[in-house]
Chains A and B, each alone.
Chain A
Amino acid sequence: MVAALGSAWTTAGLYPDVSKQEPFRVAAIRISRYAGAELRVRAGGFVISGDPVPGPDAAGRLANALFLHGTESLGFTQDLTPESLAHLLKIVALAPEVVDDQGGLEGMVAAAGLVGIRLTMRNQLAGLGGDTPEAFTVPDEPDIPLEMSFLDQLELVAAQPDADERTAAVMGLIDEFTGLAPGSQAELIDRLLGTSRADLRDLFLDQLAPNDLARVVEHLDPTAFRVLGEYVSYVEGPRRGELTEAIGDPASVLRFRARVAESVRERMTGIQLARPTSAAAPSADFAVDHEGWFQASTEVMQGVALVEDRPDRQGRVAEAWKTRVDVSLAGQEDEQALAWYNSIIDLDDPPDPLAEAVAQVPDTEQIKGLLERRRAAAGIGAREFVELLMGSDPGRVIGPLADAGEDSTHLAALAGDDPETLLGAIASVDDPLPVIVALKAAGYRGADPRLIELLDSPETHGRAEILVLVGPSLGVDRLGRLLLEEDEAVSRQAAEILRRGRTTAGLNLLFQRFESEDADDPEREFLAHLLAGTGDGANLLKGVMTASNLLTGHGRSLRAAARSALGSAEEPR
């Protein structure tokens, strides 16, 4: 459809009564076959479903003209006739100000009673709030400064409202152009012919002397040459003849093509000597290089951190950085974790969000390995490093310091009169004992209830150590329950506390456990030795041996444990 529109637009510029021309009538029929299709009009081209539709440059020129008239979209119905289409294009070809004076494009189309044409104007859509954004493709190819600057200048010139000033500015550009080397001139023209901004192209070429054009023709790309031919075809008056003569015959295109092919061929011939074949081993640059890839990746982490300049973006970089550290640690890739870590730590002046992210990273498990390696690498103590890294906020540093082996005295000193920081660290550190000792040392009155809460939670690390501190204040029943725990450290510690208490109820609990079928031999032996150390307990053990003599109701291992604990020389019979 777009191709047919381009063809119709070109043909309309060639004939006074174009609707009688066969190519135009064919184009109109082709267009009517797309009844229902709606083309969005943008400067430089048509768009469907958000994407630019390729087409001949003439279609781009038509789109430009429609755009200048304020057209948002163009569509046709099956009623479209060649006459109607010809009339529409005739109106579109008028200057925008002329059309505006006569009621605008839509008004003129309506007034002429044209059938088969559907137009939507931009202002109309804006009024209805219906200007739905569409996804346009985005320029992303490499910069071509020559084209950029030249076209940008032309765009500025085109924006001049005064026609005389516009012409004068173009002449200025042409003066600059003629001062360039022929190769650069050709490149400029080539680029100019390559753009879909036909308005800019015409603005410049319309003023260029045929002789100036003739100088560059033979250097032009074949496609550019073809576009130039198209341009010349719709130039009117004697200038068309001058230009036709200036650009010469198609032989120049053939000469150029041969030159291009030869250039590529020469390059290939030169390359083949050094070029590796599929059978040859690739150079080190292309070999599998995990270390090099990883190092480059960490450099890019640094690079991204350095170029991002807004806090929100830096925040994203911080998240990415934390992810890399986390992922490496989760995969037990400690060296990689450290490298990611260092990629930001080593920055001289990391942006604030990154610095904050660094400070937040020390989840104990993660930071522990890093600290060890960092300390070894930097030759400084854990305390210095943690404080260097994270400042002196006790809430942040106590956990990492405890895991790094810091003694409880320093931890208590850090906590000062705020034991909450120590309590907060207990649940997360690998070895909570220094923290707990520090807590007790800090003389925190409310320590015991908090420690008992932690003790009741099976997820808490170091429950046996907590039991050491709070055990004496626990009741016998509670200690009895702890005696049954699968966690051997906890159950044995509970047993030890019961023994120390020397209460009848406590010793009975130990003895019941000793006799329990659930207890295994090592546990019985442990319990027997605890009981043997107390008067009542020893009596209970002797009772076992006596009872077994009478009833043979106790198992062999139980009797052996009792005998061992009591130092008996032989098992009672």
Chain B
Amino acid sequence: MNTRSVLVSFRQAKNAMGLYPQEHPAVVSGVLGTLKALRDTMAESDMTLTLVQGHLYREREPQPHESLEFSDLLAGLRGAGIETVTFTAPVQVNDLRQAIAFSAGLSPDPPEQSVRFNEHPYSPEDLGIADDDSPRVRYAAAMDTLKKAMLSVGHDDRIPMADATVAVERLLEVTVAQPAAALLLATLKSHDGYTFYHSVNVAILSLAMSQNLGMDPEASKTLALGALLHDVGKARVDAKLLNTAGRLGPDEWAEMRRHPQEGATAILASAAPGQEFAAVVAFEHHARYDRTGYPLLGYARRPHPFSRLVTVCDVYDALTTRRSYRRAESPTRALLTLAKGAGTEFDPAMVDLLVSMVGVHPVGAVLELEDQSLVVVTAAPNTERIEALLVQTASGERLTTPEPVIVDEKRVVEQLPADIVDVQPSEFLDLVG
């Protein structure tokens, strides 16, 4: 049991409380599950979780992956005014129930005994994060900005374009300073809101392409703002569609296909001078290189080169992500799909650029080797000697601390979609320069 288990069960309990009365079995089970996870995790010790600057800490230890995976839960806690949670062993079930109810907004009274809020035993300086500006924090900040943007669009409010601009500037800095880390970060796939992760990934991929092209920072930021907001129009698509499981019918697809113009309209209504170009990318990202996509362009030119670039990043990330109706493709397979569409659906030059950037074994790709061990690529996609991390040994043992290895390309048997082997490449961000 670990922090993640506690958060998983805490989230389940909180969600159950939001749906059912306190005595409902789902609520009871959720609370008890959290209690068990806590007791297993804490043993006889006390435990403090601190939320600061978008990061979660257990005592003084950062919990980077949990910070992202549970960003929704953590944002909810922050929204409820909870910055630290201190658990004193043995945690009592009534205190825990009270804590969960308070965090869910169902009780006005915070717990006071074995679970307590906002005691702040550690300052940001204690946690060594006074000036934390890690790639993960930047990623999370970009995602928060995007969530706000989509919320705004859904409520017919203005998109916070200034925040979005700051977010892409910060992503650009990561991409310039730590290109491999940025690409690894862009492999982050999560169950918590596909669109948010996808859009930030597309922004990072676009920025990485811009760096490969030697683009001016201003042009890169303009490109990335469009990439970040390219799907923002989905917030205005009929909400009923968002509750439809499985494949969409023709009418539903027609509704879904409105998101480019909805996004463009929302951006045009919100942008300061100079930011309006993001609307072009939002409007054109499904228009296809041969102009046979959607929506119909009311002008003679092809989609703008920036839109064409974002389109290939969009499709690459979408294909490498598992969806409810389709498995994830391996990166190479996704590249081949793009190559097949080059000249029709996609700008061939953009496809070439992406292929040349990510290579045969992109950063973040999970490779199965001859001996059935698994490695995650961390650098240098274009050589026969691949820099990687060994994450699973030949005997099937999953390593808690991956080992850096150099892999001869000839030993690679197969490139696997990460989720099939339950590997999250972005977990190894701290091990990549």
Chain A residues with CB under 8 Å of chain B are 3, 34-38, 42-45, 47-49, 51-54, 56-57, 75, 77-78, 118, 130, 132-143, 151-152, 155, 194-197, 221-223, 226-227, 253-254, 257, 260-261, 263-265, 267-268, 270-272, 275-283, 285-290, 293-294, 296-297, 299-308, 313, 316-317, 319-321, 323-324, 327-328, 331, 333, 336
For the complex, what is the distance from the CA of A561 to the CA of B298, rounded to whole Å? 72
For the complex, what is the distance from the CA of A118 to the CA of B16, rounded to whole Å? 14
Residues of B contacting A321 with CB < 8 Å?
268
Residues of B contacting A227 with CB < 8 Å?
327
Please tell me if the beta carbons of B243 and A139 are within 8 angstroms of each other in the complex: no
Please tell me if the beta carbons of A137 and B332 are within 8 angstroms of each other in the complex: no
Beyond A136-B244, A197-B247, A294-B277, 8 additional contacts (C-beta under 8 Å) are A118-B29, A135-B243, A223-B329, A268-B359, A296-B277, A296-B304, A301-B279, A304-B268
Known: A139-B248, A300-B284. A307 touches B298 (CB 8 A): yes
Distance in Å: Cβ of B141 to nearest Cβ of chain A: 21
Q: Is B130 on the interface with A (CB-CB < 8 A)? A: no
For the complex, what is the distance from the CA of A300 to the CA of B325, rounded to whole Å? 32
Residues of A contacting B211 with CB < 8 Å?
278
Q: Is B297 on the interface with A (CB-CB < 8 A)? A: yes
Known: A52-B323, A52-B324, A260-B332. A135 touches B242 (CB 8 A): yes
Chain B residues with CB under 8 Å of chain A are 8-9, 11-13, 15-16, 19-20, 25-26, 29-34, 36, 72, 156, 191-195, 210-216, 218-219, 222, 231, 234, 237, 239, 241-248, 256, 259, 261-262, 264-266, 268-274, 276-277, 279-280, 283-284, 286, 293, 295-299, 301, 304-306, 314-315, 318-319, 322-330, 332-333, 335-336, 339, 341, 345, 352-353, 355-356, 359-360, 382, 412-417, 419-420, 422
For the complex, what is the distance from the CA of A265 to the CA of B381, rounded to whole Å? 11
Distance in Å: Cβ of B265 to nearest Cβ of chain A: 5
For the complex, what is the distance from the CA of A306 to the CA of B268, rounded to whole Å? 15
For the complex, what is the distance from the CA of A297 to the CA of B314, rounded to whole Å? 20
Please tell me if the beta carbons of A36 and B214 are within 8 angstroms of each other in the complex: no
Residues of B contacting A226 with CB < 8 Å?
420
Closest Cβ neighbor of A274 among chain B residues: B352
Residues of A contacting B419 with CB < 8 Å?
54
Known: A49-B192, A222-B414, A280-B214. A139 touches B323 (CB 8 A): yes
18 residue pairs from A and B, CB less than 8 Å apart: A35-B33, A44-B324, A137-B324, A139-B256, A140-B231, A142-B341, A194-B326, A222-B330, A223-B417, A264-B355, A264-B360, A288-B219, A297-B277, A299-B280, A299-B301, A301-B279, A303-B295, A305-B298
Known: A196-B324, A300-B279, A304-B268. A51 touches B192 (CB 8 A): yes
Please tell me if the beta carbons of A293 and B277 are within 8 angstroms of each other in the complex: yes
For the complex, what is the distance from the CA of A45 to the CA of B325, rounded to whole Å? 8
Residues of A contacting B301 with CB < 8 Å?
299
Please tell me if the beta carbons of B214 and A134 are within 8 angstroms of each other in the complex: no
For the complex, what is the distance from the CA of A286 to the CA of B308, rounded to whole Å? 11
Residues of A contacting B353 with CB < 8 Å?
271, 275
For the complex, what is the distance from the CA of A264 to the CA of B365, rounded to whole Å? 15
Closest Cβ neighbor of A314 among chain B residues: B265
Closest Cβ neighbor of A194 among chain B residues: B327
Residues of B contacting A155 with CB < 8 Å?
247
For the complex, what is the distance from the CA of A265 to the CA of B231, rounded to whole Å? 32
For the complex, what is the distance from the CA of A271 to the CA of B319, rounded to whole Å? 23
Closest Cβ neighbor of A130 among chain B residues: B19
Please tell me if the beta carbons of A275 and B352 are within 8 angstroms of each other in the complex: yes
Known: A36-B33, A137-B195, A196-B325. A118 touches B243 (CB 8 A): no
Residues of A contacting B336 with CB < 8 Å?
260, 263-264
Please tell me if the beta carbons of A195 and B325 are within 8 angstroms of each other in the complex: yes
Please tell me if the beta carbons of B315 and A271 are within 8 angstroms of each other in the complex: no
Q: Given A118, A286, A294, A324, which contacts B268 in the complex, CB threshold below 8 Å?
A: A324
Known: A257-B413, A304-B283. A54 touches B191 (CB 8 A): yes
Residues of B contacting A195 with CB < 8 Å?
325-327
Q: Given B194, B265, B277, B355, which contacts A317 in the complex, CB threshold below 8 Å?
A: B265
Residues of A contacting B269 with CB < 8 Å?
316, 319-320, 323
Please tell me if the beta carbons of B414 and A264 are within 8 angstroms of each other in the complex: no
For the complex, what is the distance from the CA of A36 to the CA of B28, rounded to whole Å? 8
Q: Given B256, B296, B318, which contacts A307 in the complex, CB threshold below 8 Å?
A: B296
Known: A49-B15, A138-B234, A271-B355. A286 touches B327 (CB 8 A): no
For the complex, what is the distance from the CA of A223 to the CA of B415, rounded to whole Å? 9
Residues of A contacting B330 with CB < 8 Å?
221-223
Please tell me if the beta carbons of A142 and B286 are within 8 angstroms of each other in the complex: yes
